[in-house]
Structure 1
Amino acid sequence: MSAHNEETDELIGASRQLTADAAAAGQRLDQWLAGRLGPDLSRSRIQALIRQGAVQVGGQVVTEAKHKLASGDTVTLDVPEPEPAEPQGEAIPLDILYEDDALIVVNKPAGLVVHPGAGNWTGTLVNALIHHCGDSLSGIGGVRRPGIVHRLDKDTSGVMVVAKTDHAHRVLSEAFADHGRTGDLRRAYVALVWGIPARPSGTIDAPLGRASDRVRRAVVPATRDDARHAVTHYAVEEWFGEGQAKYATASLVECRLETGRTHQIRVHMAHIGHPLVGDRDYGQAFRSKANRLPEPEATTVREFPRQALHARLLEFSHPDTHIAMRFEAPMPGDMENLVDAFRNI
């Protein structure tokens, strides 16, 4: 995510209302706004917005940057959304599990961003798909997200399906929005977490909302305006460490999503006290646990560069034929090596 100050971030694609204080009296409109809105919104950009009619003073559009303010003036600034850059195809290798005229299923590697965005305008899965599919993705799902109906975090690996037609995009998008409640959609992830849950299987039903830093998520009260219903079902598959489960150092857990919120598995597992190994955002307090492991396993765990999460199973009905489809991808080598390190303890 690119670095902006908080005030400017709130302005992008939004309307902002400011009130001129006594010190603003007699100042030029552009000069005063530049002083209030910080270096990330330059004076020349503010002047352009004024000329475009994006600034009102006292409810009246003002197009002169040199307009003089009076104390108590209400100034409204509308900053339009930036025009999305159309991504270009790039020859990035794809691990294709299946492809036909309607869709393509890939095994996304860890480290690959799904679609272009701030700080990642190139080198994404979308760039790779455009190169591979050509014009068949054009216009589907929006300029910056052609064909994308769901996504995985940059550092999460595993199975993804991408639409190649408008019909497939609509049907698959509806299936993911419904989270499989009324259809055949199933998603299963495997996660390596610290410790072992008190129950070998269970359901985490805890709403998620934004954390204070605007990127991370957190479990929040259901009454909060941004709270979103989130449900994860988990089952412990294997544990590592001492002979008895209650002394386990870590465990391999299958997680099945009933909803699909941002960072859902990562936040939910941390919420019950078992964050994912390698998770820098939600498992910071557990990083020192690696120091208690023997070598060379401790070094393997410390150097693992991402959250240990892999989307290993995806089931859905084909949007055209309605045939049930099932795709699995084995854990990638880095995560398999990490699990092996715990097995050796």
Structure 2
Amino acid sequence: MSFVDDEDAPPGETVSLTLATEHAGGRLDKTLAEHLPDLSRARIQALMAAGMVTREGKVLTDTSAKAQAGDYELLIPPPEAAEPQAEAIPLTVLFEDPHLIVVEKPPGMAVHPAPGTPSGTLVNALLHHCGSSLSGIGGVARPGIVHRIDKETSGIVVVAKSDAAHKGLSALFAAHDIDRVYVALVRGAPSPAKATIVTQIGRSSTDRKKMAVLKSGGREAITHYSTRTVFGQQKKPQAARLECTLETGRTHQIRVHLASKGCPCLGDPVYGSGPPTPAVREAMAQAGLSRQALHAAVLGFVHPVTGEALRFESPLPPDMAKLEALLSAL
């Protein structure tokens, strides 16, 4: 589970760059991206298409033109604060009171609207279910959201309905005073079978859409894992079921950490380097697994308003449950 991680530049920000002669000559969009690591190449291309990139006051729109030495300016327009619309999307509610709601998020549903996912999100469903009672602290696009799980990760999410609950839950997450357990079905099996992974996690230097374990920089990330079941021969396991307990909540933390151990989540399209065995691939196909096999199975915390100790458990969704059954036959 990971805290909301904004990448948008501040509203109306102007980014300036002076390109030296020795750095000129390459393709313009690529050169600008290399010198402006906070902006992806695709983002720069979009800004150029919108007439937001200039050199010496001249608007540049040809992304494939050769970069010339000189002073560049890129105007980052303010993000559109689109008001999410209520949508009648079914929800599995585990708990609800006037202050918060705990739900099971299915795979394929984003937690909140974002570029490319303006609707069909958990926020849209909650607006229909809760009406106007969601906490407003999260902003226009993220009312009530204090944490999130990846779009293709299934499992338990808590959302604030009151400002008091929002502040209290945020404090619990910041203090790591939340019990969070994930179930992962992974390729192979980690060695040792039980351990704690402590690394720095930050943006990959080669792909800004990915996170990576960094030698320096980034933020500390701590994951405790335990192997519950090994599938296949013990000496050469083909897959395993792990339980992962989060001590921190970095973006893609479990997926990055397990991949760093050589045991990525099965079906992970981003961090799942290297194919599983043919038998495991066949099991994945039969189970209809089309996403990373990762499920937020347990969420426990003290209610920030009432003081009640709450703990929720969620069984594996159908695709992971079927996959586990098929793996058990290996």
TM-score (normalised: structure 1): 0.77
Structure 1 counterpart of 2:298, from 313, 319, 326: 313
Conservation of the 8 A alpha-carbon contact between 2:83 and 2:141: yes
1:86-132 superposed Cα distances (whole Å, 9 cap, x missing partner): 10100011000010000000011111100000100011000000111
Quote the residue 1:198 is aligned against. Answer: 191
Q: Work out the CA distance in 2 between the residues paired with 1:328 and 1:190.
A: 11
* Distance 1:298-1:312 versus aligned 2 partners, 3 A rule: closer
Structure 2 counterpart of 1:271, from 256, 260, 264: 260
Question: Does 1:98 pair with 2:95?
Answer: yes
Question: Does 1:325 pair with 2:310?
Answer: yes
Q: Work out the CA distance in 1 between the residues paired with 2:50 and 2:268.
A: 41
Equivalent positions of 1:1-345 (< 5 A) are 14-19=13-18, 40-41=46-47, 45-46=51-52, 74=71, 76-137=73-134, 139-180=136-177, 185-211=178-204, 212-221=206-215, 223-224=216-217, 227-242=218-233, 245-285=234-274, 287=275, 289-291=276-278, 293=279, 297=283, 299-300=285-286, 303-345=288-330
One-letter identity of the residue aligned with 1:213 = D
1:6-25 superposed Cα distances (whole Å, 9 cap, x missing partner): xxx98985422245999xxx
Superposition deviation, residue 290 in structure 1: 3.5
Deviates more, 1:129-138 or 1:106-115: 129-138
Quote the residue 1:3 is aligned against. Answer: none
Superposition deviation, residue 246 in structure 1: 2.5
* Distance 1:17-1:310 versus aligned 2 partners, 3 A rule: same
1:153-181 superposed Cα distances (whole Å, 9 cap, x missing partner): 0111111100001110011011112212x
Unaligned runs of 5+ in 1: 1-8, 23-36, 50-54, 66-70
1:57-82 superposed Cα distances (whole Å, 9 cap, x missing partner): 7xxxx9x99xxxxx997454542322
Unaligned runs of 5+ in 2: 1-7, 22-42, 60-67
Structure 1 vs Structure 2 CA RMSD? 2.9
Which has more radius of gyration? 1
* Distance 1:19-1:173 versus aligned 2 partners, 3 A rule: same
Q: Work out the CA distance in 2 between the residues paired with 1:157 and 1:88.
A: 23
Conservation of the 8 A alpha-carbon contact between 1:290 and 1:298: no
Q: Work out the CA distance in 2 between the residues paired with 1:306 and 1:333.
A: 13
1:288-326 superposed Cα distances (whole Å, 9 cap, x missing partner): x242x189636436x520111000000001111111100
TM superposition outliers: structure 1 runs of 4+ over 6 Å: 9-12
Larger helix proportion of the pair: 1
Superposition deviation, residue 42 in structure 1: 5.7
Conservation of the 8 A alpha-carbon contact between 2:135 and 2:163: no
Q: Secondary structure at the match of 2:167?
A: helix
Superposition deviation, residue 197 in structure 1: 1.5
* Distance 1:41-1:99 versus aligned 2 partners, 3 A rule: same
| Number of corresponding residues | 293
Q: Work out the CA distance in 1 between the residues paired with 2:280 and 2:163.
A: 53
* Distance 1:104-1:295 versus aligned 2 partners, 3 A rule: closer
Conservation of the 8 A alpha-carbon contact between 1:236 and 1:251: yes
